[in-house]
Amino acid sequence: MGNGTKLVIVESPTKARKIGGYLGNDYTVMASVGHIRDLAQPSQVPASAKAKFGKFGVDVEDGFKPYYIVGSEKKKTVAELKAALKDADELYLATDEDREGEAIAWHLVETLKPKVPVKRMVFHEITPEAIKASLSKTRDVDAHMVDAQETRRVLDRLYGYELSPVLWRKVGPGLSAGRVQSVATRLIVERERERMAFVRAPYWDVSATLAAPDAEGQEVRFASRMVSLDGRRLAGSKDFDTTGQLTPDGFAGNVRQLDEAQATAVATALEQAAFTVMSMETKPYRRRPQPPFTTSTLQQAAGNRLGMSSRQTMRAAQGLYENGYITYMRTDSVTLSQEAIEAARNAVEFHFGKAFLSEGPKQYTTRTAGAQEAHECIRPAGARFRDPQELATKVPADQLKLYTLIWQRTLASQMADATGSTATVRLSAPAGTYGEAVFQASGTVIEFPGFMKATGEGRRASAEPKTEQAAQPAGGAEPSASAAAASQATGRTAKQAESDENASLPPMRTGDVLHAVAVQADGHETQPPARYTEASLVRTLEAKEIGRPSTYASIISTIIDRGYVYERGRALIPSWLAFAVTKLLETKFPKYVDYQFTADMENGLDQIAHGQESGRDWLTRFYFGSGDGAAANADEAHAGLQQQVAQLGEIDARAINTIEIGDGLHVRVGRYGPYLEDMNHLDDQGNPKRASLPDTLAPDELTVEVGHELIEKNAGGPRALGVDPATGGTVEVRNGRFGPYVALVPDR
């Protein structure tokens, strides 16, 4: 019999301590420390159950029934929970309100087998008010959400255990395929293929620094760029295709492509020219705040602005949530509760004044396709938002930076738009025999910063010529998503930004004549598609509805840990191993790395979570096939994963592990790493000449020219190091397919 206490079980010890402090002595709060049981590995299945569960830990012949075990590391936890349950009159399951949390709650019931009433309590923030409110709104464990989680777990087991052995046999040992990780790897490989095939096109233009008086008569200098010459628009990056040729639109537009000599001559002709204002146009500028954070947008912003990986972001967010500082960090929703809207508006008024509030409360609508459970957005917890300074001595530095970002974004969502004006001036100047040159410059002035006051952006504006394409950062990664990102990344505070001078164009009227301070020819090259960063990969996965934002951090970590991808700066670069794995999956299992098919699988799991389909039926179609007379067991299988693997046939491992570079050069992916072969040039034994590949050489950097240089450096034959005193033989350095090695040549 119990003694009147109530047992509350949560996932983590930190969460248990926090909630225990709110509930008082009548409640015992304990942690399960995540899942207390999991799907068994085949090696963990007892001999008596091997016939049914021995291949996957799942009985595919009996409705995909999983075999669960309590791991050895969890037996002590289970014993402690059972002991505590004996003294309790009620059991409250307070795990997270998502599919994983719901499954943990279900496994607790299945394992502990309570004989007292069981109540499921849910909350989106760990505050005294939220915890106490959840006690009065308990429910049962959601069987549909549990079914969806179990289906996903079984699905991933079937996918990995069927496809990974094919990789072991044909590419290399220890490799893995995964429902989402393989598709994410394919995205990164495809981007690198595009970069490898890309042909850069050179183009030139002319820039001029001009001077004009401001309203007080002081000289103001601003940059401008030539946009047309002799009535023809200058070619820019958008006028070239991926092969380096002009696009059809470029031809149709009769664009002018300058070379270095022509651009230099035009610049020289313009040095003493008069620049006459043709037009001066001013338009109003308005920028609206973004919605509050979801899991995906938080990962993107933290990556762009704070340089945090997805894994670091989610770890920091977990700590903030469990300590009661933010709401639950796994959510697809941008919705704010009325309490949160009021708290945000109060904070805005306190910090910035009423003038910075939006006209009325703002509520945002979740537009993410396939959004899961209806949580609130990620925001500061409670009815009063803590200022970041209040947390400065309470949380680690990474958590403080992330909290500040969340606090800023939440306040900004209830603030007024930033407004100002954008001016564009066009000027003409005679360029001698080249005809009339037309230049353009634009400048934006932020007159009222609105929400930018909260996000750390001030009244800084620009008077810059529009360039066709910004230079890519190191590693060829995509640049940050916005100017705000740059502001955050450089550590500029709101106060610093506010003090920045307006960088606007000086007042000018049609017919005004200006002179150039400097004129120069500028050379450019078209740039290949930028490599993915973690932030842009997350954005792409979400846009394609592949996986779920709550899993993106672990997916990216997995493909890096497996050696499929590595980072250079913030850029994600695929290894040659990733090329081979992706090639095999694309050619032999195209459906299972297809973007739409993967998205459809995720949508199927959503339907199961909403009770619109059963996991058993869904898995039957996936594994055994579908159509009229859909397979009910392995004997009837036809179109599912099981038969895709069973009917695979022979695979040419050499072809799978070969990546063509051009001019007879091939990269081979061997068991000991990638190496380069020159099929057009043989060594003394009649074998293709080979060279090892430097680890620092990215795939798109291995051009035909670089490849031949590597072969040449490795083709000089053995080099004698000296004589072995013990045998009298010669010690040589030789180059093999796996790189340099030392050999002893016996003395003859």
Q: Looking at the annotation, which residues are catalytic?
A: 328
How many C-beta atoms lie closer than 10 Å to residue 67's C-beta?
A: 19
Tell me the two tokens of residue 683: 């060594």
Phi then psi dihedrals of residue 585, to 5 deg: -65, -40
Give the separation between CA 98 and CA 13, rounded to whole angstroms: 19
Q: Bridge partners of 735?
A: 740
Beta bridge partners of 743: 732
Q: Using alpha carbons only, give the angle 598, 315, 382 rounded to the nearest 5 degrees.
A: 105
Q: How far apart, in whole angstroms, are the C-alpha atoms of residue 501 and residue 309?
A: 34
The length of the chain in residues reads: 748
In angstroms, the Cα distances linking 40 to 45, 46, 59, 389, 665 are: 6, 10, 12, 47, 46
**Spatial separation of the C-alpha atoms in residues 615 and 655, rounded to whole Å:** 38
Give the number of other CB atoms < 10 A from CB of residue 497. Answer: 20
**Strand, helix or coil at 386?**
coil
Structure tokens at 671: 């068991």
Q: Please give the Cα distance from 226 to 133 (Å, whole number).
A: 65
Report the alpha-carbon distance of residue 431 to residue 266 in Å, rounded. Answer: 6
The set of residues, in sequence order, having a beta carbon less than 8 Å from that of 625 and lying 6+ positions away, is 631, 637, 638, 639, 640, 643
SS3 at position 237: helix
* Nearest CA-CA partner of 535 in 594, 473, 578, 595: 473
Tokens of 744: 């002893």
Q: Name the β-bridge partners of 733.
A: 719, 742
d(CA 357, CA 88): 50
Alpha-carbon separation of residue 93 from 105, 213, 221, 288 (angstroms): 6, 71, 67, 41
HEC-encoded secondary structure of 53-100: HCCCCEECCCCCEECEECCHHHHHHHHHHHHHHHCEEEEEECCCCCHH
Q: How many Cβ atoms from other residues are within 10 Å of residue 587's Cβ?
A: 12
The Cα-based distances of 621 to 158, 237, 238, 329, 642 in angstroms read: 13, 48, 45, 33, 11
The count of other CB atoms within 10 Å of the CB of residue 370 is 13
Side chain identity at residue 163, one-letter code = L
C-alpha 343/C-alpha 117 separation (Å) is 37
Q: Which two tokens stand for residue 555?
A: 């997916």
Structure tokens at 125: 């923030």
Residues sharing a CB contact under 8 Å with residue 438, sequence separation 6 or more, in sequence order: 226, 227, 228, 229, 278, 426, 427, 428
Closest by CA to 441, choosing from 231, 225, 282, is: 225
Which H/E stretch holds residue 588? helix 576-588
Residue 44 tokens read as 């963990």
Q: How open is the CA angle 718-722-727, to the nearest 5 degrees?
A: 105
